[in-house]
Amino acid sequence: MTDASTPAVRKPGEPALAALGLAAPAPDPADASPHSFPGGGRWRTEIPSCEGPEALAVVLKESSRLDVPIHRISQGSGVWMLTDAEITEMVEATAERDIELCLFTGPRGTWDIGGSTRTDSGGAGLRARGHDAVAGCVEDAVRATELGVKCLLVADEGVLWTLHRARTAGIIPADTTLKVSALVGPVNPASFAVYERLGADSVNVPSDLTLDHLTEIRRVSAAPMDMYIEAPDDLGGYVRMYEVAELIRRGAPLYLKFGLAKAPGIYPYGHHMRELTLATAKERVRRGRLALDLLARHGAGDDMAPLGTRLPGTLNRFEISS
C-alpha cells in the first residue's frame, strides 16, 4: 500500500482507509489548476533564507548529498546586507548549478524608524516608507543586477511597479524576475491578479490559504505561486507537508518553499548568528527531501519543471504609459 512505484496519484493513507470503508471523496477535476510552467512542469523548488555565501555553500552541499533538486535560492536580509564580493560569490556558485538566485531589495518598514509597525496593528508592515526607501530598493536592484543577480524579492507594491517599469525601460535587465514576499502576499484572487499586473513573476501567498483559495486564484491568474510548505514561526509556523500533492494540483505552477518552523528569526543576518544560520540552512534542505519523498510515495513526483528553468511565461501586465 506504500509502494512508491505506483503510478496513480493517491491521497495520504487512502488505500488503508478505503479498505476500512473510510475512503475520501474523489477529487473534483474542476478544482485542478489548468496551468503549468513554460517548457513543462507544474512545480519548482526553492530554498529560502540563504543569507550569504557560507550558508549557500551549506545548502548546495546538502542538496547534493540528499539529492534535492533546486530551482531557486532566496535570501531575506537584503542586497544591502551583502558586500559586492559576497554577491558575486553567490552569483557564481548558483550559476554553476543553473539555480536562480533571488535577493531581497532595500529598506523595509519593519526596520526603519517608523513607529506604526511596532503597534499591535503592525502598521504598514514591510512596505517602503517614503521616497528614500523606494530609492534604496531601486539602488539595491540596480547594484544586484549589475553583479549578475537575476531575481529580486520585493515587499511593496510601488517598488514592484517601479522595478517592472525599470526593466521595461532597460534600467535593469529585461529578463530580471520579480518575486513578491510572503510578508505582503495576497489572500484573494483579485489582489493576486493585481500583483501580476504590477509586474510580479511569482507571488508568495500565505501558507494558511485553503485549497479552495488556491483554486479561486487559479481561475483568474496563471502567474507562478510560491508557498511555504513549512512556514517560519513569524508567518504562522504552518506545516502542510502531507498536502503537497494537492497543493500542486490546485496551485500549479507552484514553487515549493522549504521553510523551517520552531527556529529563531535570522533577519538581518550577521556573523553573530552564524551557527544558527548554517544549521537551519542545512535543515531546510532536509525538509525538502522529506516533502519530495512524500510526493514520490503518493505518485505525484513526476511533474517537476526541468532544472535550470526560471522564467514565468507570458503574464498579464498593466499598460505602462509614457
Instruction: Report whether pLDDT(165) > 90.
Output: yes
Q: Write down the mean pLDDT value for the chain.
A: 90
Within 13 Å of residue 164, how many CA atoms lie on the same side as its CB?
Answer: 25
pLDDT at residue number 2: 37
pLDDT-derived band of residue 117, with 50, 70 and 90 as boundaries? low
Instruction: Report whether pLDDT(262) > 70.
Output: yes
pLDDT at residue number 5: 40
Could you read off the pLDDT of 128-143 as tens digits, one per residue? 778 988 999 999 999 9
Residue 295 burial class via C-beta count within 10 angstroms: exposed 0-12, middle 13-18, buried 19 and up:
buried
The residue type of 321 is: S
Instruction: Please identify which residue in the block is written with the cell numbers 548546495.
Output: 60
Could you read off the pLDDT of 15-40 as tens digits, one per residue? 898 888 888 888 888 899 999 999 88
More confident residue, 184 or 115: 184
Query: Span 275-293, mean pLDDT?
Result: 95
Q: Which of 240, 234, 168, 165 is nearest to 209 (CA)?
A: 240
Q: Which of 29, 148, 32 is nearest to 93 (CA)?
A: 148
pLDDT-derived band of residue 265, with 50, 70 and 90 as boundaries? confident
Distance separating alpha carbons of residues 184 and 204, to the nearest angstrom? 8
pLDDT at residue number 1: 35
**Structural domains of the chain, ranges and CATH numbers in brackets:** 34-297 (3.20.20.70)
Q: Which of 286, 293, 246 is nearest to 26 (CA)?
A: 246
H/E segment holding residue 112: none
Query: Span 158-182, mean pLDDT?
Result: 96
